[in-house]
Amino acid sequence: MNIIKIKDRSELEKKLPSMPWYVEKFINYKLPDLSPSSLLEYVRDYDTFFSWLLAEGLSSAATVKDVPLVDLERLHMDSIDNFKMFLATRKENSNGKTTIARKLSSLRSLFHYLSQIAEDENFYPLLKRNVMAKVEIKRTHKPKDTAAKLEGKLLQESEIAEFIEYVQTGYPVDVAKNKQALYSYELNKVRDVCIISLILNSGLRVSEVFNLNVEDIDLKKKLTYVYRKGKNDDTFKTPVYFRQEAVDCLAAYLEQRQSRYKAPKREKALFLAVANGKKEGERMTKRAIQEMVIKYAKRFGKPYLSVHKLRHSFATDYYLRNDLYKTQEQLGHASPETTQIYAHLTDKTMAEAIDKPSE
């Protein structure tokens, strides 16, 4: 099981006892199909909802764990509307449309299970009335809308190579007068170039990069093996190809990984960092990977770049050379609808290219 799933499963096991018995029953029902990370998000959403019920006096229970099913049956549509308003306007951790839709979808899944699938000892549904069946959850991001938001915020074909080249040679020139920045750069240059090149030549997610182990890389076949998002099979890693352009960067990093980061033999992580005050390298965190990309992106003149936008940049370029279904498989999308983002993005790219003057 990958590092994130182990952590989330542990957190899930800690949180479940504080939930009503029927939530635990639902989570156990879903356990074979969903990852611990997804189930943990469900439980967090339910904790928010039940805590709100108690605060609003919509349940007479003393704690979240004690909220009875009958309190769910008594809910009106007004209650759900008020909950949506609460999510959107609360002072701390207010939510956007996408997050609100996801939280409502979590609730709908629970209510559906209780009213349509789970039964009591007399074979009657556990929940007699399902208010969430009336709630329409609109898709908040259509591929075309997502594409519109990404326009102008991705690396175009030539810029992919330019950005990698900038990290290799341009950044140290820009920070030449900053001794601390230059020292840190020289220490991690090969690793940083490797990470950025790998993402821009494969489209890996930050979680997939974070979870990579040394044994997951096959330079000869130009393959890396990753735990794909949404797949709950912890025994199988999905093979993902990377382009030839990433091979030299990976080879250079692997050659110096041990000598530079002095990781103990038990440390299998591919990408390492040495934390302040420590002598041995350990798995580089997701946050550190994100911050590293942003650091270079700002100096490159594209401060809006992130790991996910590097993934989008690769995907747009890949889609131009392949088709929808190959792109879907390369990126690990569950649905081709998600991959349609790149069809909309490349429509604009092709429109610009036709009028581009010849060099």
Overall size of the chain counted in residues: 359
| Helix or strand (DSSP H, E) at 282 | strand 282-283
Q: What is the pLDDT of residues 269-299, one digit of tens each?
A: 999 999 888 889 999 999 999 999 999 999 9
Residues annotated as catalytic (active site), given as ranges: 205, 229, 308, 311, 333, 342
Which residues in the chain show pLDDT less than 50?
350-351, 353-356, 358-359
Q: What is the pLDDT of residues 12-65, one digit of tens each?
A: 999 999 999 999 999 999 988 788 888 999 999 999 999 999 999 999 899 999
Torsion sign across C-alpha atoms 70, 73, 79, 84: positive
> Which one-letter DSSP state was computed for residue 356?
P
Q: Angle at which helices 157-165 and 286-300 pack, to 10 degrees?
A: 100
What pLDDT shows up at residue 341?
A: 83
**pTM above the 0.85 mark?**
no
| Cβ atoms 299, 174 nearer than 8 A | yes
Look at the block and give the residue holding tokens 């959107």: 88
CA separation, residue 163 to residues 154, 205, 210, 299, 305 (Å): 11, 18, 21, 10, 11
What pLDDT shows up at residue 201?
A: 96
